[in-house]
Every structure is written in structure tokens, then in C-alpha cells.
Chains A and B, each alone.
Chain A
Amino acid sequence: MSRDSAAAPGVRIRGLTVVYKTPAGELPAVSGVDLTLAPGTITGVVGESGSGKSTLALSLLNAVQPPGRISAGSVEIDGLGDVLALGGEELRRARGRKVGYVFQAAQNSLNPLKTIGKQLLDLGRSHDVDDLRELVRDAKGLLARMGLDGARVLDSHQHELSGGMRQRVGIMLALVLNAQVVVLDEPTTALDMITQATILRIIREVHEERALTTLVITHDVGAVAEVADSLAVMYGGRVVEHGPIAEVLGGPRHPYTQGLIRAIPRLSGDISLARALPGRPPTLGTLPVAGCVFRERCDRRMEICDTVEPEPVTHDGRTVSCHATGRPSPAVKRREYA
């Protein structure tokens, strides 16, 4: 399959703020996030529980559910416009046709009472697909591409499929209407190592063959390190660092990214160098109102961090929000981490 890779749409998220209504008032889960997904690339978003990564992903579909509410910002997708300005029927059509979404734990997003084939036909009818036969042919093609027997899978109920097979069904359903922007939320969580490696390879190959713009949301740096072109690190509802993946992993600049990478259990290297980050991830209720959200766990905390929130600063194609590293002096070209 050869499609013009220039056809892949770009996605620009600007000033996105999503608040959740709580007894303590409306608290921001995502706060003023700017993130650009370059056309035809895979962007990985990594963050811990409560970092706002899943809320960010749902915003791409304008699908944040109450008590959540998108209170500010825009999500511009080429050929579609601002998703946040869409509503009703227009929005419903965009979901699936333009933006495909592979849900976390695909087993919970499939209907247990219907065969996969019936759910595929439902999807086709709800999007006014004229030629359902062709839709089924496309679906079988995609499943075969991912190493499954299409006819057998379409005749199966979800409980007859393994975790890795369901995840592939999820990817098929997200792509079968020719969506060009695909969001995968924790695509490999709860999968075995070998299955995970297979799914990651499939994501990369399908991404390239169909000229997609892909966003992968995960808590596991390893799961995106293998496939992504660029990596955005989220903490407390902010993107604290964003850049080409090998550079972010090889020379992280934000203290949180540095700590996170140091905390990954690895197969090789000195065990004694690895350590957990002190403190714990913030929750909606414990996020500081002013200043840097990471300062409580930071080893480079300064006075200014208590009062002023660091602005994202772009330098060498890397965007970092940190008072300590945001404005690198010309003398320090490359910073080694301990």
C-alpha cells in the first residue's frame, strides 16, 4: 500500500485546559497544554497516574465526560478544524472517520453480546457506509495484515479472543473507516511481553503503511521508546518536556524526566544507580495552585519555583518547562545526567 505521506494531517493542541468538578471546586487535570503532533509521526505521551494523559487523549475527540469539562484551548486537526468547536452530528462523524481511538483495555470496549463482525457492521451503518461488503473486506485485510484470520475473528465474540487479539481488533475498528489521526490509550497494558512486542511492531508498520498521525498514551516509557518519533512527558497536567525520543531519553533536561528514566528497572547496567523518585505523584487535590507542580519532588528546586510557574521554552527542538534548565547558558551544550 503506498499513500502519499504528505496526506497525513497535523494536530495542534493550544492552551488546552480541562477541569474536573470536585467538592473543592473545579480543579484542572490538564492545564494550558501546547502540543504539536507533526504530520506522519508517532508521538508518545508518557505520564504517571493523575498526570492528565488520558484526559488529554480524550480531548482529541472532544469526548471529556462530566464531571470533566474542557474550559479553554483548541485542538486543530488538518482537514477538520477545531475539534472543540464541533458538536452533535458533525462531531459524531469526525470520530471514527477522521480520528480513530483505540481504548485502554480493548476487552472492555467491545460488546460481549455481539460478534466482532456485527459490531463492525454497526460501526459501518452508524457512519453511513454505502458498501458494507467492502467494509468487511477492508476489515479482513487489516486483520490479516496484523497476522489474524479475519473471517474467524469477525465470527467470534470478544471472550473467544486473547488479549493480544482483542487489542488488534481495537486497532482494526479504529482504522477501518480510514481515520488518519489515531489515538492509542495504553495499547500494551496488561499484555504479555512477547505480545506487547508484536503489537508495537504492528502499530509502527500500520502507521507507516497508512500514513497516519499517531498519538500513543502510556505510563510505560518502554512501550513508546520502541515506536515513537517524539516523546512528551506529562506531570501534574502539564507537558514538562517534549522532543525527539532518542534525545529525550538519552539526555533528559527536565528533572522529572531525569528522575523517571533513572527509576526504570533495566536489564543491563548498574543496579545501584537506579532509584525511585522521592515523594509521590500529585492528585487533583494536592496540586499546588502557584509555582512549579514538580517542585516538591525536585532535586534542583529554587526559590522562584514556589511562586512562578515555569513557561515552556523551546531550544534545539526540545521544549522544557523548568526554571533550572529552561534557559540553558551557551556554555552548557550538553548536560549529562548522574
Chain B
Amino acid sequence: MITGTAITKTFRQRGSVLGKRDVPALRGVDFAIERGGAVSFIGESGCGKTTLGRIIAGLETYDSGEIVIDGTPMSSLSHHRRQPYFRRIQLIHQDPYSALNPTRTIHQTLEAPLRLRARQTGRPRSWVDGRAEELLSLVGIDPGYVLPRYPHQLSGGMRQRVVIARALTMDPEMLVADEAVSMIDVSLRLGILGLLRDLRERLHVSVLFITHDIATARYIGDEGEVYVIYRGQVIERGPTETIIADPVHPYTQSLLSAIPVLHGLERPGSEQVVPTEALDEGQADAGCLFARRCPFSTDRCENERPVLSGDGTVQLHACFHPRRRSVIPQGVHT
């Protein structure tokens, strides 16, 4: 289990004519991911979801807050002693075309981390080849076909499966999948999502799924949780199906309203929310971060920032005026 409390991160931009500029990427984020669970971070580019994913994978530092892995606070450990903890968390990149070394066969790609793993766990060298085949079968590809090949000989879907197999060489407890299906062909996307769901069920691996496409979050298995992130703040959080079917925050509603309707199969939701065009977001403001784009904002929203709260329910929101609206498209056939 991995938890985070009040994680903040500010990037400092240099070199502009105006001098230094601070860009807050995360403004005090809490999260908790259970063993075998699924958490999805949803938001637009620049909202901080990728930064948070990289912090959780140990690839990025944070300014303040605390991350606790299996009961051990990371702040109590030296950089060196943290490594074994973060090795249990493996990142799957967005682009399967650049994540694999083009000059190495898949066999070579998997062999290197597996040898390391064999040394760490005291297994014989002979274990490596068998394990490579086992992992490839696990991710649903034929080891005999794939092992001797180079990445360019494989399709995008296959490459992404190889990337997942490589992540599994470290026997991780959690996979951080950052936009893992956005570059995969549509007809194969569900295959990769189904694989992540399988890994949760069979290996009890937790999945942190980072995406801008909320619909895909439904397909990584039961009991998933969605965090909607806006400008570095979690503004709504709850069970996946609840957040999609009954969102109460106007920003979540805007995101869901923006998803195209498949005319002929679906009809649009009756209460679509369209945000106003984004204004200059560089300025510091005391109020709700979404207030200037929100069609429902009031004076209070301009001056006071709402915090994430839930009145005792599992659905948390950071909004002074939460209201359910029917925004998502409904099927015509059913």
C-alpha cells in the first residue's frame, strides 16, 4: 500500500525575459493506493498528473509532504535506502515506439533486468530464459515469435506488451501506466486495458493509470478509484463509476461533456457543461482554481479556495456549489 500526504511540487522556470517564474505543479495532493487496487488520475495536459505519477515512481523529487510505502515513510530513509522501495513501482511509458532500445532484440531487452533480478534473489542464471518466456506468455504474446525480434518488427500493441513484460521483470507491486494506451490503435486498446485488469487479478499488482481519456479508466477492473486533477489540485475523487455517472464538480462535468458523442449509438447528456476559454493561468489567485472558467462561479468562489471534502461519503469534491448534472452520453439501443 502506498499513501501520500500533502505532496507539493513547484517547477521554477528560468531564462525568460521576466526572470524566474514559479509554476506550481502540485498543490498539496493526498492519495492512497491499495495493494491490487486501481487508481486513475484524470486531467488535461499540464494539470500535474504525470508529475505526480513520476513522484510516485520515484523518478521525481517533491518539495514537501510525505510518501509512505508499506508503512515506511520515505523521508526517514536515505536516497540509497529508498531504492528497493521504488523498485517495486515500475513505470510504463506512453510511447511504446521509443521506450524500447531499437538495437536490442526483445530477448536482450528482457535479459538484462532479469539477470539483475536473479542476482538479487539468488536464483541461478538458467532461471532467466525461462522467466522471460513466462512473462511474455503472461502479457499475451508468443515468446517464440517475439524473443528473437527487434522492436521495429513488432506492432504498437505488441511493443506495449513487451514494455509491460519488462516492467514485470522486477516483480513490481505497482505499475504506473502513463497514457499507456493513447498511442495504441483503437482496435487493440481494450486488449492492453484488459491485460492491466488481468495483472491486477492474477498477480495482485496495483495499477496507477494516468490518462486524459476518462472512458478508458472504466476498463482496468472493478473497485477502481478516479482522481480528477486540475492545476495541481485534486478537485473530485471517488469510485470510477460514480465519478463518471454522477460527477458533482463542474470541472469534471466539463471534461465529461467534451467527450464526443457517437451519433447513432448514443445521445448527448441533457445538461452539458461548457467552460469558458482559459484565461491567463499564471497569476496567483486566492479563490477556486477553476472559478474563472466555471459557468457557475460566485463571489465566494473568487475569494476562497474550496478543499476536498465529502461530508462522510466516498465521493469527495472541492466545490462550494456541487450539483449532479447529467452530462455523459447515453446509449440509444438500451
Contacts and interface: CB of A to CB of B under 8 A. Distances in A.
Contact of B190 (A192, A196, A198, A263): A263
A111 B156 CA distance: 30
B229 to A, nearest CB: 13
A171 B264 CA distance: 28
Given A265-B190, A265-B213, A276-B187, A249 B218 contact: no
A225 B186 CA distance: 15
A192 B44 contact: yes
Interface in B274-296: 274-275, 277
Interface in B226-267: 244-245, 254-266
A26 interface: no
For chain A, the bracket of interface size reads 35 or more
A249 B264 contact: yes
Nearest to B185: A48
A275 B188 CA distance: 9
A249 B258 contact: no
A248 to B, nearest CB: 7
A72 to B, nearest CB: 28
A44 to B, nearest CB: 11
Contact of A268 (B44, B212, B277, B329): B329
A197 B264 contact: no
A147 to B, nearest CB: 6
Contacts, number: 126
B189 interface: yes
Given A147-B277, A267-B328, A225 B263 contact: yes
Contact of A269 (B44, B216, B274, B334): B334
A48 B187 contact: yes
Contact of B264 (A246, A275, A280): A246
A49 B185 contact: yes
Contacts of A283: 155
A281 B186 CA distance: 10
B187 A197 contact: no
Given A194-B44, A219-B185, A221-B186, A264 B212 contact: no
Contacts of A261: 262, 265
B256 A267 contact: yes
B244 A49 contact: no
B158 interface: yes
A112 interface: no
A267 B258 contact: no
Nearest to B188: A276
Contacts of A276: 187-191, 194
B330 interface: yes
Contact of B186 (A192, A197, A219, A268): A219
Contact of B328 (A198, A221, A268, A280): A268
Interface of A: 48-49, 147, 163, 192-198, 200, 219-223, 225-226, 245-251, 259-261, 263-269, 271, 274-277, 280-281, 283
Given A193-B212, A249-B263, A271-B218, 14 more contacts: A49-B156, A195-B44, A222-B259, A225-B261, A247-B264, A249-B262, A250-B265, A265-B193, A265-B218, A267-B218, A267-B259, A267-B329, A268-B266, A280-B155
Q: Give 5 closest A-B pairs by Cβ, nearest first.
A: A250-B264, A246-B264, A276-B191, A197-B258, A249-B264
9 contacts: A192-B44, A193-B44, A193-B212, A194-B275, A225-B263, A226-B263, A247-B264, A268-B244, A280-B188
